[in-house]
Structure 1
Amino acid sequence: MPFAIGQRWLSESENALGLGVITALDQRTVTIYFPAADETRIYAMAQASLSRIVFSKGETLSHQAGWQGEILDVQNMNGLLFYLVKNPQDEDVIVQERDISP
């Protein structure tokens, strides 16, 4: 799967960092910021031990604003995921993957 700025990934070798977001790319490296740990890591693309985080319809998503909701649908646009989520006010809202809680 190709990398894109804004995607959410986990470091397989440093799980304690939590959920990271890609902040920069070049031809050889990917830079990921891990907000829960307030740490940034730069990985060689060819050797990155990373797992892409993808939620599915029916799962519960935690928003960085502190609320949770059920995923109704998932769309992939230009490598970024957008989730249609039922929020606590029973409204359908679109959540970009960068807005998922770390």
Structure 2
Amino acid sequence: MVGERLAGIRSDHDDTQGELAEQLNVSVSTVRSWEHNHSAPSNEILVQICKMYGVSADYLLGLADYDPDYTRRLHQAKFTDSERRELKKYEQYLLWKRKH
């Protein structure tokens, strides 16, 4: 489960196995081994991965099927800066409207 999730998250960020390996100071074959579920990263490495990609450990470990914060960030990354500002204004408007 960790391997599949890790490969997906890495791919979401357009990182290669080599880039991830370099960032974590491990070999490419180690990352490949994790992604093929032949071995698993240490707890310390898991924490690094979660922080690096902004994903919950529960999602990465397969304890949760969905990470709403991670999914939201992925969707927002597809918008331009201008569109993100517009979304923020709209969000503020909806919150204001709810109060009145």
TM-score (norm 1): 0.25
Q: Larger strand proportion, structure 1 or 2?
A: 1
Q: Larger helix proportion, structure 1 or 2?
A: 2
In our comparison, the structure showing a higher alpha carbon Rg is 2
